Chains A and B, each alone.
Chain A
């Protein structure tokens, strides 16, 4: 099957953040939490999403995870209210 073209990292990150915000209740508190030490909320939410979809739980926006995020879907969150 055709291999996905290389991704523009910035675009991917935007996709990941908005997906997790919309469907996995990621709180986007606009601090530079992506570079802070210790657990990154984004990575934790990513793991939650990867676990839900039966993907490999890496906490990283790998190719399979990005492909899943691009799939057309229902607008209701997968977790929480």
Chain B
């Protein structure tokens, strides 16, 4: 996180805000709700309070503006600059301006008003741009489902360094952006995808292309806005150029790079009993056309051609794969299966039916 130069801050904790005008692109109530939610992002982790006022000057004046709106920072039409805000202070200090020519929405289409205003309010309170790609105060727009939004730890640390902690008995914490070479890094799910390897972690995906040394970190929502964060299992079925992604008792199908219509569907369509509530990991064996699903200490085997679960399952993982513990994530590459259990990775040879190597979970990232 970065403080704005000169460390400006509000001298009071009880601040006021006023909405000067509304965008015609959203219902007034949705704009109000987006702004209230954006303010609560910051009030939840600090002693700050925000009271809405009408018809008088407020600390934070929020307005939608066109192009040149007489503050020396003209907007540039659709896309590009979405909004800006002014550091704490009298007059224009603290004010938030939103570019009226953007497609403001309350969901993943266009630009989500809540996300943008929450970011701008960070400036109104004295924060500058952070270079943490997962931070709310990162300069570029990225969509997160407002219902899943948690203020990242980098932003919490920044705003509390200015205003102190909230009075909540338990201090709220936020998600930390995964670092590819963090030895403690664990994964929610892993799959291959047309020659690349995609590692899922929270709302992020780490993408490893065989021809690139660097690992790319992106939000899952950047590519698949309709997918939730926290994907729990994933596997690629190369024959059909599909990737299946699992969370709780639902699964989605990626055909190529796009989510196939009609998903998510219940995992029970694949033949799981109702007692199974979630899938921990999965991989598909290209040579046999069999897919292996790992749930707690057991595993199922699914026949991709018959599209049914094989009989005689579930079986104990340890009986057929050895001491690999609970499987967080798995994928197959070049005939070997890689099982991830916390920060440990096991390379399993399905022909010899034994573990042939043990590595660190981050071994794929050229650290």
Q: A residues within 8 Å of B by Cβ?
A: 1, 22-23, 52-54, 56, 68, 71-76, 78, 80-81
In the A-B complex, the 6 residue pairs with the smallest Cβ-Cβ separation, listed nearest first, are A75-B84, A75-B81, A71-B140, A73-B140, A72-B141, A78-B129
Additional pairs, 17, CB under 8 Å, beyond known A1-B257, A74-B83? A54-B133, A71-B140, A72-B82, A73-B81, A73-B139, A73-B141, A74-B119, A74-B123, A74-B139, A74-B140, A75-B73, A75-B81, A75-B83, A76-B84, A76-B123, A76-B128, A78-B128
Residue-wise, chain B 59-98 has the 8 Å CB interface mask toward A (1 for contact) of 0000000000000010100011111110000000000000
Alpha-carbon gap, A23 to B129, bound state (A): 11
Q: How many residues of B contact A (CB 8 A)?
A: 26
Contact residues in B for A72 (Cβ distance below 8 Å): 79-82, 111, 140-141
Alpha-carbon gap, A78 to B131, bound state (A): 9
11 example contacts (A-B, Cβ-Cβ < 8 A) are as follows A1-B257, A56-B214, A68-B140, A72-B81, A72-B140, A73-B81, A73-B140, A74-B81, A74-B119, A75-B99, A81-B5
Nearest-Cβ distance from residue A70 to partner chain B, whole angstroms: 8
Alpha-carbon gap, A80 to B120, bound state (A): 17
Alpha-carbon gap, A80 to B128, bound state (A): 10
Alpha-carbon gap, A73 to B131, bound state (A): 13
A75 in contact with B75 given A1-B257, A68-B140 (CB within 8 Å): yes
Q: Quick check: B131 and A54 within 8 Å, CB to CB?
A: yes
Q: B residues within 8 Å of A by Cβ?
A: 5, 73, 75, 79-85, 99, 111, 116, 119-120, 123, 128-129, 131, 133, 139-141, 214, 223, 257
How many CB-defined contacts (below 8 Å) exist between A and B?
A: 57
Q: Quick check: A23 and B139 within 8 Å, CB to CB?
A: yes
Q: Quick check: A52 and B80 within 8 Å, CB to CB?
A: no
Nearest-Cβ distance from residue B320 to partner chain A, whole angstroms: 36
Contact residues in B for A78 (Cβ distance below 8 Å): 128-129, 139
Alpha-carbon gap, A62 to B139, bound state (A): 20
Q: Quick check: B131 and A76 within 8 Å, CB to CB?
A: no
Contact residues in A for B81 (Cβ distance below 8 Å): 22, 72-75
